[in-house]
Amino acid sequence: MYRFDFSILGGSTIPVLADGMLVTLEITATALAAGMLIGAALAILRGSRWRAAAWLAAAYVNLFRSVPLVMVLLWFFLVVPQLLQSALGLSPSVDVRMASALVAYSLFEAAYFSEIIRAGIASVPEGQMDAARALGMPRLLAMRLIVLPQALRNMAPMVLTQAIVLFQDTALVYVSALADFFGQAYGIGERSGRLVEMLLFAGAVYFAISFSLSLAARRLGQASPAVRGTASAAARG
Amino acid sequence: MYHWHWGIFLSPTGTGETYLGWLFSGLGLTVALGLVAWLLALVLGAAVGIARTVPNRVVRALAGAYVEVLRNVPLMVQLFTAYFVVPELLPPELGDAVKRMNPVAQQFLAAALCLGLYTSARIAEQVRSGIESLAGHQRSSALALGLTLPQAYRHVLLPLAFRIILPPLSSEFMTVFKNSAVASMIGLLELAAQGRQLVDYTSQPYEAFIAVTALYLALNLSALRVMRFVEAKTRVPGFATAK
Amino acid sequence: MRPILALLALALAVPALAEDLEGTLKKVKEHNLIVIGYRESSVPWSYLDGDQKVVGYSHEVALKIVDAIKAELKMPDLKLREIPINAQNRISLMQNGTIDLECNGTTNTSERRKQVAFSNTIAFTQTQLLTKKKSGIKEFEDIAGKTIAVTAGTTSEHYLRKYADEHKVKLNILATRDHSQGFLMLQTGRADAFFMDRDVLGSLLARAQDKADYVITGQPQTKEALACMLRKDDPQFKALVDRVIAKMQTSGEAAKMYDKWFMAPIPPDGVVLDAPLTKEMKELYKHPNDQSFD
């Protein structure tokens, strides 16, 4: 019988774990916000009359949805950092690892959010857009003021579900030199020889947080069947 | 200035193979892992999904717990737990036997089991929602015709539910191959891991990563092709998902 | 006369960095930041102690280099950032500019010199096997058919794969993310032996609970020259780094530092490695150089 020893938890390890959790939350929040913004732009572009733009947006979404997140992270961590720094004009005092991780997650999630948003937009009756255009509103304005707000309400549960998935996926930042909650827990476990305890502890923490959030998502109301049908095809792992 | 050297793939690795060979061996492991996990996931997922719709409350609750635990812990954490923790918690002889196994077999086993279970939870949810969307009508009609519950499931509910959930199921099939990349974290030399090996042994990160990404894209397209084929073959004209 | 002589001495003492800065030094000056990569479990070269802080023999060399940069570039407020790296990503991170300097337990090889540059040698080591006494492995050849743990991306990993191919031996190579994971594999019975630098093995062993069960064995397979790693084609920075190391070694400072890490209690548990300076190391300290063994 394995002799459990959870004494490693406490003292110097708690601040380290807390730091890790901060990294996890920072990545989740940023990728959620940026992903939604970029995703919305992509969703709108895909419906645009300008064929080139629509095609590019579709290509982007299909590309990022066809490759593992692990590969995207490796790309941004090992190959791209300097490009990133000059492209975004970041001052090098910014931690390049965090910057690459944030960009990687945001770009990746944007593809998935764009599908959810598209489903959300599709769930808003066409009459709304037609009425807005009839009133003389340009398409983009109609999108912003009329369609998107309603779409967002419809797809809120799907967005929250995807956010929970994103929260769990932050554990993959293990491939880069950045230590999130899981990375710190694992490192402590490995160096102290108490890997079993730390892994079980990490699993429990993730479960507690994800489960509560998913209960909240369910509380947000059952999505209307129209959205659920199309959007569940959009949902990913 | 970066030096492109596409011929690197045909160069010998110094250990008797070519780098291209390494890549393909990684691809092979990825495909094998995906398929094994998928089969496991289908069987378990269908069972648990059905279990979530039966009248028995205890069965429903157990199935519910299964799904909740597997969906709320990150796949990577589950994988590390399967690989590092489970052998320690088994009775000593069994645990040791597991740890004595060929390392690749150990990694593959842990990854396949883990990926299979994780995906089965997601499939269970899809099966459940598929069956539930047929709730009222089909089920009561079937029962009214004198079919027992198991017969109703077998001949009416499941075939229809399966066709309803074919789209999300297809996307799940493709997701399995993407998720397989997580196995590189416990050392399995599947495609993503071989990509990193290539970067390490050659100094051509761009070629290596582009090749690996291209292979994942090809894999994704193939999986899509397979599922489209299945969709076409099982289409019921006039029914919900018929195109 | 005196003042003029003093002025002359001062002028001669100021290193040639009054000229234009280039490469890493230019980057450091422009951004007021230098980034060092450290290892988490390369005891005693560079590792995390009980308080999760970076310590180690090589790490102190790195800190001395940073001090020298501060002095020579006249940047007393130079910011230092330390990132954890591992054997697999250290070269990529150096090449893509994420880190500027790496002083850990990295071996200088001609293969690697195609991608990065190395400083003067800071230590020598040899690779051997760490195994449980009851495993029956005594000679290196005994690894045939067994499972050997080795850290991914190290010269040891490359060596093992080559060995398996050249000697047509069946080996199960378990490549781990870092040294502590490799030892974990050995401890939990997943691997029959751990193949790595002798100093790393010695320190892992010294800190193990059940150290009496293990032994370091086998004919040393490779001799390695450990050095600091920096970007290629950067002669100015290399000159500075080499200068610092040479000064440390010839002045006796390096020997003192060596004793601190190899002959005295070290964090986190206060074990003593008890590995006195070898003849080769003493020679190195007398005549600093950047020769590698291959």
Cβ-Cβ contacts under 8 Å for C213 (sequence gap 6 or more) = C132, C133, C134
The pair of three-digit structure tokens given for residue A118, joined into one six-digit string: 């598209």
- What single letter denotes the amino acid at residue A194? R
Percent of chain B whose predicted confidence (pLDDT) is above 90:
43
- Give the nearest partner residue to B187 out of C95, C115, C176, using CB atoms: C176
Neighbour tally for C30: CB within 10 Å: 10
- Max mean pLDDT range (A143-147, B140-144, B216-220): B216-220
Which of C31, C98, C184 faces A195 most closely, judged by CB atoms? C184
**Whole-number pLDDT of residue B11:** 80
Burial tier of C93 (Cβ tally within 10 Å: 0-12, 13-18, 19+): buried
Does C29 reside within a domain?
yes
Same-domain status, C118 and C134: no
**Which of C30, C35, C96 to probe the A interface (max A CBs under 10 A)?**
C96
Please give the single-letter amino acid code of residue B189. Answer: L
Residue C292 lies inside a defined structural domain of this protein: no
Alpha-carbon distance of A131 to A108, in angstroms, equals 35
How much is the pLDDT for A221? 60
Mutate to test the interface with C, among B203, B204, B206, B209 (most CBs of C within 10 A): B203
Highest mean pLDDT of the ranges B62-71, C49-58, C217-226 = B62-71
| Domain annotation covers residue C211 | yes
C153–B15 C-beta distance less than 8 A = no
pLDDT tens digits, one per residue of C252-278: 999 999 999 999 998 888 888 888 888
As a whole number, the mean pLDDT across chain A is: 84
Pick the range with the lowest mean pLDDT from B63-67, B233-237, C227-231: B233-237
pLDDT over 70 (residue C3):
no
Number of domains in chain C: 2
Whether C217 and C100 map to the same domain: the answer is no
**Whether residue C150 is found in the same domain as residue C253:** no
Q: Who's near B69: CB < 8 A, 6+ residues apart?
A: A207
- Whether C136 and C174 share a structural domain: yes
Whether residue B242 is predicted with pLDDT greater than 60 in this model: the reply is no
Domain hosting residue C193, numbered range: 126-223
Quick one: pLDDT at residue A105?
95
Asked whether the beta carbons of C104 and C42 are under 8 A apart, the reply is: yes
Residue A85's pLDDT band, with cuts at 50, 70 and 90, is low
- Same domain (yes/no): C86, C7: yes
Please check the confidence at residue C146 and state whether its pLDDT lies above 70. yes
Q: Which domain holds residue B101?
A: 40-234
Strand, helix or coil at C84? strand
pLDDT of C11-37, one tens digit each? 555 454 556 888 889 888 888 889 999
Per-residue model confidence as pLDDT tens digits over C84-93: 888 888 888 8
Which span out of A72-76, A106-110, B223-227, C43-47 was modeled with the highest average pLDDT? A106-110
User: Could you give the number of structural domains in chain B?
Assistant: 1
Q: Which of C92, C174, C189 sits opposite B187 (nearest CB)?
A: C174
Chain B residues within 8 A of C165 when measuring between CB atoms: 14-16
What is the β-pairing status of strands C33-38 and C101-102?
Answer: parallel
Confidence of residue B27 (pLDDT cuts 50, 70, 90): very high
B220, part of any domain: yes
- The CATH number that applies at residue C271 is 3.40.190.10
pLDDT level of residue A217 (50, 70, 90 thresholds): confident
User: Is the backbone peptide bond immediately before C268 cis, with ω within 30 degrees of 0?
Assistant: yes
Q: What is the pLDDT of residue B30?
A: 96
A170 falls in which pLDDT band (50, 70, 90)?
very high
Q: Is the pLDDT of residue C177 over 50?
A: yes
- Predicted confidence (pLDDT) at residue C152 exceeds the cutoff of 70: yes
The yes-or-no verdict on residue A223 having pLDDT over 50 is no
Query: Which is higher by pLDDT, B240 or C287?
Result: C287
pLDDT value at position B81?
93
Domains of chain A: 6-234 (1.10.3720.10)
Look up residue C177 and give its two tokens: 């993310």
Band the pLDDT of B90: cuts 50, 70, 90.
Answer: confident
How far apart, in whole angstroms, are the C-alpha atoms of residue C250 and residue C201? Answer: 28
pLDDT at C64 over 80: yes
Per-residue pLDDT band at A229 (split at 50, 70, 90): very low
Task: Give the whole-angstrom CA distance, residue B163 versus residue B130.
Answer: 9
Which residue in B67, B72, B128, B185 has the most chain A C-beta atoms within 10 A of its own C-beta, making it the best mutation to test that interface?
B72
Question: What pLDDT, on a 0 to 100 scale, did the predictor assign at position B243?
Answer: 39
- Examine residue C293 and state whether it is found in any structural domain, yes or no: no
Taking contacts as CB-CB distances below 8 angstroms, the residues of chain B near C153 are 200
pLDDT exceeds 90 at position C62: yes
In a domain, C281, yes or no: yes
Q: What is the pTM of this model?
A: 0.83
Asked, for residue B134, whether it belongs to a domain, the answer is yes
Distance from CA of C220 to the nearest CA of B (A): 21
Q: Is B29 inside any structural domain?
A: no
A28, A60, A69, A71: which to substitute to probe chain B, counting the most B Cβ within 10 Å? Answer: A71
Residues 172-191 of chain C whose Cβ lies under 8 A from any Cβ of chain B = 172-177, 188-191
Instruction: Give how far Cα B81 sits from Cα of A13, B77, B84, B87, C223, Å.
Output: 20, 6, 5, 9, 38
C51 pLDDT more than 90: no
List the chains bordering chain C where 3 or more Cβ pairs fall under 8 Å.
A, B
Give the mean model confidence (pLDDT) for residues B143-159.
Answer: 80
Using pLDDT thresholds of 50, 70 and 90, give the confidence band for residue C66: very high
Of C41, C92, C93, the CB nearest to A191: C41
Does position A224 have pLDDT exceeding 50, yes or no?
A: no
Q: Residue C82 pLDDT > 60, yes or no?
A: yes
C294 within a domain of the structure (yes/no)? no
Most confident among A1-15, B22-36, B85-99 (mean pLDDT) = B22-36
CB within 8 Å: C189 and B14: no
Q: What is the pLDDT of residues A100-147, one digit of tens each?
A: 899 999 999 999 999 999 888 888 888 888 888 898 888 888 888 888
pLDDT at B200: 81
Residue C67 and residue C143 in one domain: no
pLDDT of residue A35: 95
Cβ atoms within 10 Å of C293's Cβ, excluding its own: 14
Q: What does the DSSP assignment read for chain A?
A: -----GGGSSTTHHHHHHHHHHHHHHHHHHHHHHHHHHHHHHHHHHT-S-HHHHHHHHHHHHHHHHS-HHHHHHIIIIISHHHHHHHTT--TTS-HHHHHHHHHHHHHHHHHHHHHHHHHHHTS-HHHHHHHHHTT--HHHHIIIIIHHHHHHHHHHHHHHHHHHHHHHGGGGGGTT---HHHHHHHHHHHHT-HHHHHHHHHHHHHHHHHHHHHHHHHT-PPPHHHHHHHHHH---
The yes-or-no verdict on residue A226 having pLDDT over 50 is no
Same structural domain, C35 and C138:
no
Largest CA distance in chain A: 75
Q: What is the pLDDT of residue A225?
A: 43
Q: A122 vs chain B: nearest CA distance in angstroms?
A: 17
CATH number of the structural domain spanning residue B196: 1.10.3720.10
Model confidence at B87: pLDDT above 90? no
pLDDT band at B6, cuts 50/70/90?
confident
Tell me the ipTM for this assembly: 0.85
Cβ contact, residue pair C91, B104, below 8 Å = no
Average pLDDT over residues A71-89: 76
| B15 located within any domain | no
Same domain, C168 and C134: yes
Contacts across the B-C interface (CB distance below 8 Å)? 44
Distance CA A71, CA B18 (A): 22
Residue C175 counted as domain residue: yes
Chain A residues interacting with chain C (CB cutoff of 8 angstroms): 12-13, 16, 77-82, 85, 91-93, 95-97, 176-177, 179, 187, 190-191, 193, 195
pLDDT at A53 over 70: yes
Instruction: Indicate if C119 and C16 belong to the same structural domain.
Output: yes
pLDDT in tens, A198-214: 999 999 999 999 999 98
Residue C291 lies in a domain: no
Residue in B129, B179, B196 closest to A74 by CB? B196
User: Of C174, C192, C223, which residue constitutes the final position of a domain?
Assistant: C223
Q: Are C120 and C164 part of one and the same domain?
A: no
